Amino acid sequence: MSTKTLWIIAGAAAALVIAIVIAVVATAPDTPDAAPSPSGSQSASPSPTPSDTPAASPSPSESESPEPQIAGTCQNTVTDEFLAMMADQDWSVKDTAGEESGPKPFAIFPGGSPDGWIACRWGADPDAATDNIIDLAWAPFTTDQIDAAAAELADAGYQHIDGGAGVLYVYSDDSSAGPDGDAYLFTQYDVRWAPSEELLAYIQSPSAE
């Protein structure tokens, strides 16, 4: 075999190998790209659905008294004007509720004196046996107690006086032309007593500003 023939056979074999390689490469599946990383952080878990439990109902205002329940004292049941007058005279005060020497204006009521009542004696010396004093009294009271208490006062000679900030009863004896004695004032929340109607103006609710 001549050399020329060998070169022709070798060239044909090389061409065949190249063609096979090209065919294999062309038909081979593409290598998949790497899986992309997440573009961002995962979204937060959704908020839980609100429960069906109803909110607590507010306390009914109708059942609550609008008047704060504050205990009465000889200082908070009189007006600032009265306190200033007592300070100018250098008078002090003593609660005589329950003492034999003090007034007991609420003892006439059905059931006796209400719980929490006070009787305040103002004077230069509240313990001294003198007429130079002022007695004032206060007690918590409710409107459903007024009718029975007012009936007792009417039977004892007190007159119902119209007007004012509440139900007013003033004592009057048969010898006078009109009311001239001690007085009671019933309000929606308390009852007040003074030795004269004029002095009632100095008594107030403990919760008054």
Give residue-wise pLDDT tens across range 13-23. 444 444 443 44
**Whole-number Cα distances in Å, 137 to 48, 134, 170, 179:** 62, 10, 15, 19
Nearest to 179, CA basis, from 169, 166, 187? 169
Q: Please check the confidence at residue 121 and state whether its pLDDT lies above 90.
A: yes
Helix (H) or strand (E) holding 137: strand 133-140
Nearest to 204, CA basis, from 189, 196, 195? 189
Tracing tokens 């250098």 back to the chain, one arrives at: 90
Longest dimension (CA), the chain: 173
Q: What average pLDDT does the structure give for the chain?
A: 75
Q: Please check the confidence at residue 182 and state whether its pLDDT lies above 50.
A: yes
Confidence of residue 176 (pLDDT cuts 50, 70, 90): low
Confidence of residue 101 (pLDDT cuts 50, 70, 90): confident
Mean pLDDT of 187-200: 95
pLDDT at 15: 44
pLDDT at 19: 43
pLDDT: which is higher, 67 or 126: 126
Q: Is the pTM of this model over 0.75?
A: no
Q: Dump pLDDT digits (tens) for 128-161.
A: 878 899 999 999 999 899 999 999 999 999 999 8
pLDDT at 172: 84
Q: If DSSP codes are grouped into helix, strand and coil, which group holds residue 200?
A: helix
pLDDT at 170: 95
Q: How many CB atoms lie within 10 A of CB 6?
A: 10
Q: Dump pLDDT digits (tens) for 21-65.
A: 344 344 444 444 444 443 333 333 344 444 444 344 333 333 344
Number of helical H runs and strand E runs in the chain: 3, 7
Mean pLDDT of 156-180: 80
pLDDT at 20: 41
pLDDT at 98: 86
